[in-house]
Structure 1
Amino acid sequence: MTDNAANSGHEAANPTASRQQDTPGALDGVRVLDLSRVLAGPWSTQILADLGAEVIKIERPGAGDDTRSWGPPFVQRQDGSCDAAYYFVANRNKRSVALDISQPEGQAAVRQLAASAHVLVENFKVGGLAAYGLDYDSLKAINPALVYCSVTGFGQSGPYAPRAGYDFLIQGMSGLMSITGQPDGGPGAEPVKVGVATADLSAGLYATIGILAALRHAERTGEGQHLDISLLDCQVSLLANQAQNYLASGQPPRRLGNAHPNVVPYQVFAVADGLLILAVGNDGQFQRFCAEAGVPELARDPRYASNAARVENRDALIATLRPLLAARTGADWIACLEAAGVPCGPINTLDEVFADPHIRARNMAITMPLDEGGGTLPLVANPLRLSRTPPSYRMPPPGLGEHTLEVLAQIERNPAQYLTTDSE
């Protein structure tokens, strides 16, 4: 199957992704030097790689990216080496080079690679790379057009800048956990983190947006720049309407469980055989829901006729709706409400997600060759759908230092001089 077909949405589910790129990607010709690890930085560089950029991942000899050990589960290669599944989520389409940047030889190699790079991504502590001569100012002197992206927990300035930042801490400090979880006074009432590393992932996405903007500027002017991406900044920005609600009202939002602060009814309800999400987004949908539920008079009740009124009278309305929804099965509700144009749906487990006919039709799970020994690797696909330059899947996530000699041979006739004992 070609890469275009893999992104068309018309092929069989779970396709085997090609190792070759049939047509140039949108970022073909862009070289990215990836000095980041764990998730936020690698998430960004994998997006760039999927879009055609050449990404060279610099790793510590003998250890590599921290996430290689963040298991179980682990994925074993044909040569017997194994890495945690976590590592595979953000490192495809990259080449791994093992370099000890604490040594002069490793620093020299990174500088030579940076001289021909368009982008460098790093997530060291603030000032951490200056000791090695690999900070923005040092590399700018070598390559003035370099787009240098620093991803940290708290940014390059401010009182918290020196601190290490982890996703869990950021979810708490950003206010996200204060609005996530069951309401005070109810069973299980406490702030709850989101089940994936949303602060890391949002920082990775914002980093990608910033990099693309900076590349456009460099293309026009020949001038690079330093991007300062903070996990805390990014997560605060993703508070969106909740943050704006506070800024407009002065009242900190409270935890509502699965309910919505601005829209009612927009939450989880118990049905006869489980749980159902009902997401009524406007008054017309509420009228149609009431008709399907056999209570059309509710939509005419002044307490519920408008969304603002429903928010004001939330408790009374939800108490009325609970027994109505509990009287029928989830499948029954989904069938009738979908036909009526009322948004609703199930709460799927991940096995149900990847068995879902729509997810399968969209080819959101792919399979890549893991190594030359014939092993295969299932991966989540890139969700971008570009009609002319779709993402491609050229190389599986690399083994530690798999491409060290290959990459260094491009900058030095004797690449062995850069290698420490641990990386050979």
Structure 2
Amino acid sequence: MTRALAGPYATLLLAGLGAEVIKVEDPRGGDLARENSPYVGRDGVTVERAHADDVSISHLSRARGKQGVSLNLKAPGAQQLFQDLCRNADIVVENFTAGTADRLGVGYAAAREANPAIVYCSLSGFGADAPEGGKAMDVIIQALSGAMYTSGDPDAPPVRMGIPIADMLAPVFAVIGILAALEQRHRTGQGQHIDVSMLGALTSFVAIENWAALAAAGMPARTGLTVQRLSPFGVFECADGYVALVAVHEKLARGLFQAMGAPEMSDDPRFASRDARVANAVALEAKIAAWSRTLPTAEAVRLLEAQGVPAAPVRHPEEALTDPRVMARVETMAIAHPRYPHQADLRTSGIPIRFSEARTGFDETLPIAIGEHNRQIYGDLLGYDAARLEQLAKQGVI
């Protein structure tokens, strides 16, 4: 019972790991992601939906491997269908705002009544115990977590991360919690409620750095493209782009100075030890930048790698998604509109985990229409006959 990104990404991960996922959508519009631009269809990729069977690329990506049913949770009788689904399920995932699932009669108590062994995961902005009505989107969580002030130059405005990091990070924790709860159930037979907060998930990552300690030591927290407390470490401008490099340890620093054609920098008291390089990071980074700006990115990378210094060009996302290494491991994968598969070359996320005795991947199922698999789920799985399905549809329940 999820929509938008955080919840659907959690269930997407479970689908890729082999779960049979049933996506429950409101028949009066379905998942919010269905309306996300751009779309793909008979005309290729478009900003606006031009045809009824155009599909949002967001939905195409996030609904992979899932069957879809429609269920109006506000309609009388919907709670009975929900409980019937729970009797046939191992896991329920919902990402309503706190309190909404209980108010609708589809919270953990209702699921547990139907199936005491159910593993029920609530994924919300501020936690299931937060006051009801606290809505959260990724940008709100980035703002509240402090993450926006961990990047950028010291005097720059806050920096919004270009990927929806809160929406993606919280569901990873949700899946970890679900799998741990399943393992506990294998031992005890008991289900339980898992509660994951987007704010808590992202703030826990921000907290891996001790910002108070940095301030007490007089070390700036925001240093732009580099991390001065690890200097030299970060991104430097080249003649045609940017290079990322790491030369934290003594051997790497000497390799960097050699690549720069300035081995004598190893004897400079300002750069002769790790602590000295950190203390003089501004001067050191200025010298590195003066060198890198004279070179094409590929040449800077070649010189650094020849000296054993970890280095890489800073790539645009389109290029990164087609890296042969990630493609070979199916960490990114192709997606296509099921009716117009050759209209666009699209790539999206895979499952970045490999197993020696299993494989990951997605079934071919995808709910293009809202309630596309009502007959299979309500009929074949739950045993509802055609007359009952027709009546539920007339009543607006499905």
Match of residue 12 from structure 2: 46
CA contact (8 A) 2:116 2:191 kept: yes
> How big is each residue's C-alpha offset from its partner over 1:264-295, in whole Å with a ceiling of 9 and x where there is no partner?
11122122332211222322111111112111
TM-aligned CA deviation for residue 212 of structure 1: 0.4
Pairs within 5 Å for 1:336-375: 336-368=303-335, 370-371=337-338
Q: Give the Cα–Cα distance (whole angstroms) in 1 for the partners of residues 213 and 193 of structure 2.
A: 30
Match of residue 22 from structure 1: none
Residues 1:179 and 1:80: Cα distance change in structure 2 (over 3 Å): same
Match of residue 7 from structure 1: none
Residues 1:307 and 1:421: Cα distance change in structure 2 (over 3 Å): farther
Aligned length: 383
> How big is each residue's C-alpha offset from its partner over 1:8-63, in whole Å with a ceiling of 9 and x where there is no partner?
xxxxxxxxxxxxxxxxxxxxxxxxxxx01111111111111111101000001131
> How big is each residue's C-alpha offset from its partner over 1:193-219, in whole Å with a ceiling of 9 and x where there is no partner?
100110110001000100000011111
1:294 aligns with 2:271: no
Q: Which amino acid aligns with 1:416?
A: E
Match of residue 173 from structure 1: 144
Q: Which amino acid aligns with 2:362?
A: Y
RMSD: 2.5
Specify the SS of the correspondent of 1:102. coil
CA contact (8 A) 1:77 1:375 kept: no
Specify the SS of the correspondent of 1:238. helix
TM-score calculated relative to the size of structure 2: 0.89
TM-score calculated relative to the size of structure 1: 0.83
TM-aligned CA deviation for residue 306 of structure 1: 2.9
Match of residue 117 from structure 2: 145
Greater relative CO (CA pairs within 8 A, separation 6+): 1
Match of residue 136 from structure 1: 108
Q: Which amino acid aligns with 2:115?
A: N
Q: Give the Cα–Cα distance (whole angstroms) in 1 for the partners of residues 169 and 73 of structure 2.
A: 28
Match of residue 218 from structure 1: 185
CA contact (8 A) 1:99 1:418 kept: no
Pairs within 5 Å for 1:87-106: 87-106=59-78
Residues 1:363 and 1:148: Cα distance change in structure 2 (over 3 Å): closer
Q: Give the Cα–Cα distance (whole angstroms) in 2 for the partners of residues 231 and 175 of structure 1.
A: 13
Q: Which amino acid aligns with 1:390?
A: R
Q: Which amino acid aligns with 1:392?
A: G
Of 337, 353, 364 in structure 2, the residue corresponding to residue 395 of structure 1 is 364
Q: Give the Cα–Cα distance (whole angstroms) in 1 for the partners of residues 234 and 241 of structure 2.
A: 14
CA contact (8 A) 1:156 1:228 kept: yes
Pairs within 5 Å for 1:235-254: 235-242=202-209, 244-246=210-212, 254=221
1:74 aligns with 2:45: no
1:418 aligns with 2:371: no
TM-aligned CA deviation for residue 123 of structure 1: 0.9
Specify the SS of the correspondent of 1:149. strand
Gaps of 5+ in 1: 1-34
CA contact (8 A) 1:38 1:65 kept: yes
Residues 1:376 and 1:215: Cα distance change in structure 2 (over 3 Å): farther
Residues 1:230 and 1:253: Cα distance change in structure 2 (over 3 Å): farther
> How big is each residue's C-alpha offset from its partner over 1:335-369, in whole Å with a ceiling of 9 and x where there is no partner?
12122221111111133224434344444443356
Q: Which amino acid aligns with 1:127?
A: G
Pairs within 5 Å for 1:56-67: 56-67=22-33
CA contact (8 A) 1:144 1:224 kept: yes
Q: Which amino acid aligns with 1:76?
A: G
> How big is each residue's C-alpha offset from its partner over 1:305-362, in whole Å with a ceiling of 9 and x where there is no partner?
3333222111111122221222222111111212222111111113322443434444
> How big is each residue's C-alpha offset from its partner over 1:59-115, in whole Å with a ceiling of 9 and x where there is no partner?
0113111011011x1022799422221222322110010111111232211110012
Specify the SS of the correspondent of 2:7. helix
Stretch deviating more after TM superposition (221-230 or 357-366):
357-366
| Identical counterparts, % of pairs | 34
